[in-house]
Structure 1
Amino acid sequence: MNTTDNLIPRPSHVALVDGSAFTLAPAARIAANGSAVPVAEQLASLLRGATGFELPIVEDTRPGDISLELTDTFDGGPEAYALSVTVGGAGLTASTAAGLFNGVQTLRQLFPAAIEGSNPGVGTWVIPAVEIADAPRFAYRGLMLDVARSFFTVEEVKEQIDVMTQFKLNALHLHLTDDQAWRIEIHDSGSAGNPSWLPYANLTAIGGQGAVEVPTARPARGREGFYTQQDFKDIQAYAASKNVLVVPEIDLPGHVNAALAAIPQLNPDGQAKPMSTTAEVGWSTLNSDLPATYEFVREVLGQLAAITVGPYLHIGGDEALVTGHENYVTMVQEFARIAAGTGKTVVGWNEYSAGALPHGAVIQFWHGDLAPVVQQAESGGSPVIMSPAANTYLDQKYAPDSPVGLEWVEGGPFTWAEYYNWDPAQGGLKDHQILGVEGPLWTETVRDNQQAQWLLYPRAISLAEVAWSGQEVRNAGDFRRRLGALGERLASQGVAFQEAPDVEWSATSNWPFPDATPSFPSKYGTIEA
């Protein structure tokens, strides 16, 4: 079976063509001009590690080269690409650098799995002759990393970006604040912009030292830390180089105990709350009657918007269980207005659609009744990010005895299949109303990148195909086979992944975490190829 049969996500069109395969030779070059050069440099860096070839970047092309071409005449959308491989070379064409980047991810999967290693000279670098035309089903294909419950360093976030992008995932939602911690620096402003003298520096001085504690997690306490504003810019710059949009979230008006502990004026009695380490949710709230509430939100969202490159600003809105309904609606409507006033498109969890939202505000559906979300999409022009918990929540356990993960979502335990066997266009939603798909990873029990990866993969790969590939080209049995073939690539990259027992893996995960992969019977043995 050739490598075209193992591509993930499944491209829109793949056709083997008559003729000999292309062999990447030591004298090969990569041809690119203008905005295509940075993508060509990334491809060259990837290929050099395993091949040991020089692979210089040049402007012209000759037989035996790989070429990357940007052209205004290419039709198919901003992330579409075409890939043509013959005995004489491989050529990628797109209208944007994002399209070329996506094509490079397909091209790397056409090489033998050893291309992911770093031992030069061990492989023969042959690609089958093929024509591929490809474009995504949805524009937004994301993961969410909860850095509030347990902190991830800048380098760890970059490592997560490196893994996710090979599957054409292009959005990283950072959950920056919660009851347990505050992870983004907010500068103290002068008295003119701070009439209540709110001590913004305390958000990280106090809130940055917080973390969740769960006795069964390993270790029990999450990690402390925060991002400076420069750190956040650094993450975004790296993400942009990998075609990833960063979406920051400040969760409001619930999930705010870290803010209440850092800024006394946000409490009706003027007394700072104690920091909390509990994993319980829904018990904290801002106060709709305090002017300081709106002053605080205006300053925080304003500073965050000013350093956010992308178009989206997420304001949370979920699980405000102790906030009275009228107060909740009052606050989320005003917070959404403030966010929109920064020039960003506001995003919130689906509860916030109870209020009147700015036109075009994005609703992220995770739980509850989908009907109001569909209505808002139809009448209010609100695009929807689909994150239904039972199909996308990547923190859920693989098995009841798993040491990592949660199990509150009905229908578990969950492996790759629940994340593959669903259609985002459900409940009356049409494709044009769906911005995309996102898989959230909440970190109550996650303490490092390996634990995170083990929960993410292979389930995030399922979501990547759901978000990219058309419903008509997807097949669960075939996907299961392709997952198995992917094991060697993931292992070569050092990625921790859960070895689903109903998948025939080409390699095992090199993760030494004790009891990381419990033995449990497969629920999916009847899936047909």
Structure 2
Amino acid sequence: MNTTDNLIPRPSHVALQDSPAFTLSPAARIATSGSAVELAGQLGALLRNATGYALPLVEESRPGDIALELAAAFDGGREAYALKVTDAGVRLTASTPAGLFNGVQTLRQLFPSAIEESGPAENRAWVVPAVEILDEPRFAYRGLMLDVARNFLTVEEVKEQIDVMTQFKFNALHLHLTDDQGWRIEIRQPEHNPSGLDYGQLTAVGGQGAVEVATAVPPRGASGFYTQQEFRDLQAYAAAKNVVVIPEIDLPGHVNAALAAIPQLNPDGAAKAMSTTADVGWSTLDASLPVTYEFVAEVLGQLAEMTVGPYLHIGGDEALVTGHGNYLQMMQEFARLASLTGKTVVGWNEYAEAELPTGAVVQYWFGELDATIQKAEAGAPTVIMSPAANTYLDQKYSPDSPIGLEWVKGGPFTWAEYYNWDPAQGGLKDQQILGIEGPLWTETVRNNQQAQWLLYPRAISLAEVAWSGQEVRNAGDFRRRLGAFGERLAKQGVAFQEAPDVEWSASPANPFTAPGAPAPSEYGTIEA
């Protein structure tokens, strides 16, 4: 079985060619020009690391080279690509850098798994089977979410997550920046400040917060925040890997960190105490205070100014102590304020009951689909599907898992529950769905390795659901390909859960490496 049988996500069209395989030689070059040069540099860095070959970048190709070509006349969508491999060379064609990036991820998987080695692998034949692949995604938006509010992840940690997720063609990273336990983004003091709010306190107070759960290792999460420049730098790194960053300020609930930082947001003018509880739904902004809207307008305005991508997420979930009328009043106004920044507003599906700007995106996660479907009937693709039972990556693998939650009915959850579903459900059609997203909430997550252990392999299931057409997906075949991919993940040092029904080609890194942490059992759980 050659590497074309193990590709994830499964391409639209794969045809083996009547030609000898391609062998990358020490004399090979990477041919490209224009806006594809940066991507060619990324490919070169990956291949040089494992092969030790020079692989210089050139403009004109010759036999034995890898060629990356941007062709305006290429017949495909924005992220489509064509990859042709013969013994004479490799040619990857697309109409955009995004398409080329996707093709490079496929080419990476066509090489032997040793291409993932951290240093040159000696006496290796770098052989790629002769094949023609024509491919494009089912959905335009293919995302993961990191909750950095409850447990902070540094810029470098988020970059590490981007490095792993992009090989599966994820192209969106949603950052949950604020919650009851923490405020993770710098908001600067504005020149026009009618109520005299001290926005610096958001990070001075809220940036020091974190969640605390007794069973987590360690119990308390990490604190910290991103400066505006750090956030811009992170977006630039993501953009170079075809990822758009979606920042979220959760409103009008999940706001205790803001209420603790800025006293004027409270009706009595007294700052709340910071909280470490993992409970949800107990905080709210006040619809009757004019300063509420002044504050939200300033925060969303600054966030929009520092955000490169088109989306601004305003939360809207679990506002359990906000009266329904007040909730609708605030979410309608918050959505309007977000829209005034020029960004497309996104919110969790509860906000679909409010009057929203044209083109507003609804992220469905739980409950009835009716309001979401009603908004989707406007015609444009305005729904991100994140049903908790199929996409929430924080759920436990088994009842004795050391990390993870178990509030979603139907658990525990393995890779299969994240693979065996169709986003076009409840009357939704593909053309109404912008894409899918897998959220990782971090009540029990304390470092990148633990995050990876919850993400993988389940996020890989979501990658194929988002990319591959329903008609080409097969759970049994995916399970086989998933097992084969284990060797690549292990060589990258990625922690993943060894689902017992998968025949893994390699074992993962240990995700429980905190000082004093007990060792995981054979199923990846901490012994009591």
TM-score range, shorter chain: over 0.9
Opposite residue 187 of structure 1, the aligned amino acid is: R
Per mean C-alpha deviation after superposition, the further-off stretch among 3-12 and 120-129 is 120-129
After TM superposition, give the deviation of residue 46 of structure 1 in Å: 0.3
Question: Structure 2 regions of 5+ residues with no counterpart?
Answer: 513-517
In 2, distance between residues paired with 1:294 and 1:178?
Answer: 18
After TM superposition, give the deviation of residue 118 of structure 1 in Å: 2.4
Opposite residue 408 of structure 2, the aligned amino acid is: V
Per mean C-alpha deviation after superposition, the further-off stretch among 136-145 and 366-375 is 366-375
User: What is the root-mean-square deviation in Å for CA atoms of aligned residues?
Assistant: 1.0
Change (3 A) 1:18 1:502: same
After TM superposition, give the deviation of residue 517 of structure 1 in Å: 5.4
Opposite residue 93 of structure 2, the aligned amino acid is: T
Q: Which residue of 2 aligns with 1:229?
A: 228
In 2, distance between residues paired with 1:436 and 1:393?
Answer: 15
Q: Which residue of 1 aligns with 2:476?
A: 477
In 2, distance between residues paired with 1:444 and 1:155?
Answer: 20
After TM superposition, give the deviation of residue 376 of structure 1 in Å: 1.3
After TM superposition, give the deviation of residue 76 of structure 1 in Å: 1.1
Q: Which residue of 2 aligns with 1:273?
A: 272
Q: Which residue of 2 aligns with 1:428?
A: 427
1:268-320 deviation digits (Å, cap 9, x = unpaired): 00000000000000000000000000000000000000000000000000000
1:189-233 deviation digits (Å, cap 9, x = unpaired): 12xx21100110000000000000000000000001000000100
Matches within 5 A, 1:87-166: 87-122=87-122, 123-166=124-167
Opposite residue 62 of structure 1, the aligned amino acid is: R
Change (3 A) 1:453 1:118: same
After TM superposition, give the deviation of residue 453 of structure 1 in Å: 0.3
Opposite residue 181 of structure 1, the aligned amino acid is: G
Give yes or no for contact 1:367–1:389 (8 Å, CA) kept in 2.
yes
1:317-371 deviation digits (Å, cap 9, x = unpaired): 0000000000000000000000000000000000001100001100000000012
1:371-419 deviation digits (Å, cap 9, x = unpaired): 2211111047561000000000000010111111111000111010000
Partner SS state of residue 377, structure 2: helix
Matches within 5 A, 1:288-299: 288-299=287-298
Q: Which residue of 2 aligns with 1:403?
A: 402
In 2, distance between residues paired with 1:321 and 1:296?
Answer: 21
In 2, distance between residues paired with 1:466 and 1:171?
Answer: 15
After TM superposition, give the deviation of residue 119 of structure 1 in Å: 3.0
Q: Which residue of 2 aligns with 1:413?
A: 412
1:241-284 deviation digits (Å, cap 9, x = unpaired): 00000000000000000000000000000000000000000000
Give yes or no for contact 1:84–1:91 (8 Å, CA) kept in 2.
yes
Give yes or no for contact 2:47–2:115 (8 Å, CA) kept in 1.
yes
Q: Which residue of 2 aligns with 1:357?
A: 356
Give yes or no for contact 1:256–1:285 (8 Å, CA) kept in 2.
yes
Partner SS state of residue 166, structure 1: helix
Q: Which residue of 1 aligns with 2:515?
A: none
In 2, distance between residues paired with 1:479 and 1:282?
Answer: 38
In 2, distance between residues paired with 1:388 and 1:498?
Answer: 22
In 2, distance between residues paired with 1:416 and 1:380?
Answer: 32
Q: Which residue of 2 aligns with 1:43?
A: 43
In 2, distance between residues paired with 1:233 and 1:206?
Answer: 22
In 1, distance between residues paired with 2:196 and 2:457?
Answer: 48
Matches within 5 A, 1:189-208: 189-190=190-191, 193-208=192-207
In 2, distance between residues paired with 1:519 and 1:141?
Answer: 29
Give yes or no for contact 1:402–1:518 (8 Å, CA) kept in 2.
no
In 1, distance between residues paired with 2:238 and 2:381?
Answer: 26
After TM superposition, give the deviation of residue 120 of structure 1 in Å: 1.3
Once the two structures are aligned, what percentage of the paired residues are identical?
Answer: 78
After TM superposition, give the deviation of residue 519 of structure 1 in Å: 4.1
In 1, distance between residues paired with 2:121 and 2:302?
Answer: 50
Q: Which residue of 1 aligns with 2:21?
A: 21
Q: Which residue of 1 aligns with 2:84?
A: 84
Give yes or no for contact 1:313–1:345 (8 Å, CA) kept in 2.
yes
Give yes or no for contact 1:181–1:211 (8 Å, CA) kept in 2.
yes
Give yes or no for contact 2:248–2:314 (8 Å, CA) kept in 1.
yes
Change (3 A) 1:41 1:261: same
In 2, distance between residues paired with 1:169 and 1:386?
Answer: 14
After TM superposition, give the deviation of residue 237 of structure 1 in Å: 0.3
In 1, distance between residues paired with 2:372 and 2:283?
Answer: 25
1:80-131 deviation digits (Å, cap 9, x = unpaired): 0000000000100000001000000000000000000023143210000000
Give yes or no for contact 1:67–1:92 (8 Å, CA) kept in 2.
yes
Change (3 A) 1:164 1:517: farther
After TM superposition, give the deviation of residue 516 of structure 1 in Å: 3.9
Change (3 A) 1:14 1:175: same
Change (3 A) 1:164 1:450: same
Give yes or no for contact 1:360–1:380 (8 Å, CA) kept in 2.
no
After TM superposition, give the deviation of residue 515 of structure 1 in Å: 5.0
Change (3 A) 1:121 1:181: closer
Opposite residue 80 of structure 2, the aligned amino acid is: A
Change (3 A) 1:361 1:518: farther
In 2, distance between residues paired with 1:129 and 1:216?
Answer: 51
Q: Which residue of 2 aligns with 1:68?
A: 68
Opposite residue 29 of structure 1, the aligned amino acid is: R
In 1, distance between residues paired with 2:521 and 2:196?
Answer: 51
Q: Which residue of 2 aligns with 1:9?
A: 9
Q: State the number of aligned residues.
A: 518
* 1:213 corresponds to 2:190: no
Per mean C-alpha deviation after superposition, the further-off stretch among 508-517 and 341-350 is 508-517
Q: Which residue of 1 aligns with 2:368?
A: 369
Partner SS state of residue 309, structure 1: coil
Give yes or no for contact 1:402–1:515 (8 Å, CA) kept in 2.
no
Partner SS state of residue 48, structure 1: helix
In 2, distance between residues paired with 1:517 and 1:13?
Answer: 41
In 2, distance between residues paired with 1:210 and 1:67?
Answer: 49
In 1, distance between residues paired with 2:144 and 2:119?
Answer: 31
In 2, distance between residues paired with 1:137 and 1:326?
Answer: 38
Opposite residue 150 of structure 2, the aligned amino acid is: R
Give yes or no for contact 2:118–2:492 (8 Å, CA) kept in 1.
no
TM-score normalised per structure 2: 0.97
Q: Which residue of 1 aligns with 2:261?
A: 262
In 2, distance between residues paired with 1:124 and 1:338?
Answer: 57
Opposite residue 40 of structure 1, the aligned amino acid is: A
Opposite residue 13 of structure 1, the aligned amino acid is: H
Partner SS state of residue 168, structure 2: coil
Opposite residue 254 of structure 1, the aligned amino acid is: G
Give yes or no for contact 1:402–1:517 (8 Å, CA) kept in 2.
no
Give yes or no for contact 1:359–1:382 (8 Å, CA) kept in 2.
no
In 2, distance between residues paired with 1:424 and 1:380?
Answer: 17
Partner SS state of residue 42, structure 1: helix
Give yes or no for contact 1:15–1:131 (8 Å, CA) kept in 2.
yes
Q: Structure 1 residue runs of 4+, over 2 Å off?
A: 379-382, 512-520
Q: Which residue of 2 aligns with 1:525?
A: none
